[in-house]
Amino acid sequence: MASSLCHSLVRHTKWGTFIEAEKRTLIKCDLLKLSIVSTEKKILRPFIRWAGGKQNLVSYLLSNLPPENCIAKYWEPFLGAGSLFFANGFKNAELSDVNEHLINAYKQIKKNPKSVYDRLLFHKRNFDKDYYYKIRESFNKHRSQNTIEQASRFIFLVHTSFNGIYRVNGKGEYNVPIGKMNPSLPTLEHLKQIASKLKTAKLNFKPYHNILSLVNQNDFIYLDPPYPKQDEKEPFQQFTIDKFSKKNQIELAEFANGLNDKGCDVMISNSNIPLIVELYRNWNIVEVPVIRYVSCKKQKIKLNELIIKNY
């Protein structure tokens, strides 16, 4: 097929080959080949740390993207820290997440990064152990509000919480104890860069499956769901009241197949366990090495994660 044709057209031929073969393709990434991602390009980092964030995987993700000039629109419905969005050059983007506080933080930074920064500085100047729990109490008291004050509380709590995590209890209340006493908060320049990147993006609070009726052929969707555990040492993380169960993983695979049927290019990050490999056995599966931190002792473990594509 001529090289000038878009990748999304080539994908259907490859996808058909996967189905006929009835087997998966496992590819061991060669670290040396990752040089196709330019080291000279300065990648914009997220403004917040988020459990399951892809900052240490972003070079692999960039090297596995479909050609940018063939993508009509970029969708990221498990936004989290947005590592891939901030690293790529897509202008036409729709970003969403089921964490309303996270989406509110994005919206407030997009609208007024200086005001967010000023409130963060105020919190930092008053920060001590008692102040942390006072802010946590205020955050839970006003958790139904989508204001700039609530966004600054959210960002500050995540930056100063134990292990920098966001977790809620069964009532939906943030319950992480204090952690860092000398937090490294985003600078004003960083927040302005984030706001500039978000300028043309749409931000929504909604579950991932709501985009199925909205996407079109040649759109590119990146799915980064909460992972099932690879190792019992992995810490429990609860981002919302409901966990992402085995049933949810199966439903996500069905959703991804629905995107494929609509002619979309799809890339998924997920855990390297038999369940996920089986769910995507007819997809192109790329195995990549990562280092994860577990426990409060910052213990490092080496794992293989999966990048799953239908192209």
pLDDT digit string, tens, across residues 268-286 = 999 999 999 999 999 999 9
Domains along the sequence of the chain with CATH: 7-98+206-309 (3.40.50.150), 99-200 (1.10.1020.10)
Residue 293 has a pLDDT of: 59
Q: Evaluate if pTM is beyond 0.75.
A: yes
Of 89 and 232, the structure prediction assigns the larger pLDDT to: 89
pLDDT above 90 (res 300): no
Residue 18 has a pLDDT of: 43
Give the C-alpha separation, 67 to 11, whole Å.
12
pLDDT above 60 (res 11): no
CB contact at 8 A, 38 and 186:
no
Average pLDDT of the residues of the chain? 84
Mean local confidence (pLDDT), 97-113: 97
pLDDT above 50 (res 254): yes
Mean local confidence (pLDDT), 219-235: 78
3-class state of residue 307 by DSSP: strand
pLDDT digit string, tens, across residues 16-69 = 444 433 344 444 443 333 333 333 457 899 999 887 778 889 999 999 999 888
Of 227 and 293, the structure prediction assigns the larger pLDDT to: 227
Of 233 and 155, the structure prediction assigns the larger pLDDT to: 155
> In angstroms, how far apart are the furthest CA atoms of the chain?
65
Of 11-25, 110-124, 241-255, which gets the smallest average pLDDT? 11-25
